[in-house]
Amino acid sequence: MPEMRHNANNELKKLDEYYPNSDLKHIYVKHRDEIALLLKTIDTVWENQKLSKDDFNILFKGLQNSWVVVYYYVVGEPVNSMIGKIDGIEKLIYKGIEDKNWKTRLNTTIILKGIDNNELKCKIIDIALKDKSQKVREMAIDAQNNSIHSTTNTTNSTLSKAGRTWLQKLFGSE
């Protein structure tokens, strides 16, 4: 049985200790209930070694969230650790990259940075590179450039200045 990397109660306790002293306190309070549900769902999925339809929907809603703490750290990292270990996780990622909302597709592309499964990463990058949203395409280029599978060592210089600035704000580097 694959090992779970965190405990929902411990993770929520860490967040509850950090955010009251943060300038993001109001955003955390707004998302706390959803974060608690997501963390408990992740624990349930690990414990049952199964992704139920309800769990799938809860995790997908987290992937749709607009706050990076929710879609990347709370959902993205645990989902990435479940790839190849829990059936249905790959379907969650494919649903995210095919969602009608550009933000969900962007979030899905962003979490690629943590995916170790290069085959899945390449497939999602290929889909994202053809996306109608410029931000999704730019993030796909960034994920591709930072990926082990990348055959070229290009930089984000292929992106517009606005795209590079946006990536720098999001990840702190180009």
* Per-residue pLDDT tens listing for the chain (174 residues): 455 566 888 889 999 998 988 899 999 999 999 999 999 999 999 999 999 999 999 999 999 999 999 999 999 999 999 999 999 999 999 999 999 999 999 999 999 888 888 899 999 999 999 999 999 999 999 988 876 444 433 333 344 444 445 445 554 544
* Same domain for 89 and 130: no
DSSP state of 14: H
**Tokens of residue 9, six digits:** 């109660």
* Same domain for 143 and 78: no
* Same domain for 93 and 65: yes
Q: What is the pLDDT of residue 158?
A: 41
- The CB density around residue 105, as the number of other CB atoms within 10 Å, is 25
Q: What is the pLDDT of residue 145?
A: 85
Q: Where are the alpha helices (DSSP H) in 19-172?
A: 25-48, 53-64, 68, 77-82, 89-97, 102-110, 118-129, 134-145, 161-171
What is the overall mean pLDDT for the chain?
84
Is residue 124 a contact partner of residue 151, using CB atoms and an 8 Å limit? Answer: no
- Which of 97, 126, 158 is a domain's end point? 97
Residue 156 lies in a domain: yes
Q: How far apart are CA 29 and CA 31, in angstroms?
A: 5
Q: Look at the chain and report how many structural domains it folds into.
A: 2
Q: Is 159 helix (H, G, I), strand (E, B) or coil?
A: coil
**Residue span of the structural domain in which 38 resides:** 1-97
Q: What is the pLDDT of residue 116?
A: 84
Residue entry with tokens 């109608």: 132
H or E stretch covering 16? helix 8-18
Is residue 71 a contact partner of residue 106, using CB atoms and an 8 Å limit? Answer: no
